Amino acid sequence: MATIKDLRPITPRTNGTRKLSAIKNIARHHSATTSGSWASFWPHWNKTNGWGTGGYHEIILRDGTVELCYDPEEITNGVGGQNSYIYNICLVGNGSFTPEQEKTFDERARYWMQRLGLPASAVKGHNEFPKQNTSCPGIDMDTVRARLSGASIAKEANGEMVFSSPSLKEEIEMTLGSKARRQMIVDQAIAAGYSKIWQEKLDNKTITNDDLLALGAGTSVRNSMIKVEDNKVK
């Protein structure tokens, strides 16, 4: 369990609030610095950027400690023009993160996914939101989302997907290679509240395996598909 420092009593705020139900995404950021904390970031945000509210709801320090900066109902300044629906989490680092930070991020992301009713696909990097020109968060988010969904999948520099075992690779390939199963993934995603644009992408064959993985081709969805098929057999 991560150590949490509650800074909410001392952090300034001027951005206003929203309802919890308005939060649709969790954003991952990096600080683009090798060290830092709320205390060192605030002068830049306030004096240079002119902000009255900080950039992130949480900051994960190099040792995995969490600085809890704002309540989720409060709007922070992590993603330009998009913050009304985002919960912002920052890891201190510049494209390189400690095992303690990754463990803490997964713990915190899963906590908010559960509390807000969000799937792993709703966890995005700063640069995956509209109109963002940045290298932040400095990590392959497909790997992060696969980790959060329970699938042991990684991506090499050449884009090849790497699996933790031959059986997992075979299962994933079977799932994504079957037209019926691809349709099932999209149907389940839409039923869970995803945009119907995924059906359009499936129909016009522009949907990718990464899209399907992000939509839920991890452990939980594969198990649900198996249950559906078992029920059909019975």
Output b/e per residue, 27-40; b: 16+ Cβ within 10 A.
Answer: bbbbbbeeebbbee
- Please list, in sequence order, all residues whose beta carbon lies within 8 angstroms of the beta carbon of residue 206, skipping any fewer than 6 positions away: none
What is the reported pLDDT for 76?
98
pTM of the shown model: 0.67
What is the reported pLDDT for 158?
55
What is the reported pLDDT for 94?
93
For the chain, counts of helices (H) and of strands (E): 8, 8
What is the reported pLDDT for 178?
73
The C-alpha atoms of residue 168 and residue 39 are separated, in whole angstroms, by: 44
pLDDT tens readout for residues 26-77: 999 999 999 999 999 999 999 999 999 999 999 999 999 999 999 999 999 9
Q: Does domain 4-139 have CATH number 3.40.80.10?
A: yes
Sequence spans of domains, the chain: 4-139, 164-233
Question: Do 57 and 74 form a contact (C-beta atoms < 8 A)?
Answer: yes
Question: Do 216 and 189 form a contact (C-beta atoms < 8 A)?
Answer: yes
User: How confident is the chain (234 residues) per 10-residue block, as mean pLDDT?
Assistant: 92 96 96 96 97 98 96 96 97 94 94 91 95 94 85 52 55 67 79 77 83 57 37 40
What is the reported pLDDT for 231?
43
Structure tokens at 224: 């649900």
What is the reported pLDDT for 201?
85
Q: By CB neighbour count within 10 A (0-12 exposed, 13-18 middle, 19+ buried), where does 195 fall?
A: exposed
Question: Do 86 and 78 form a contact (C-beta atoms < 8 A)?
Answer: yes
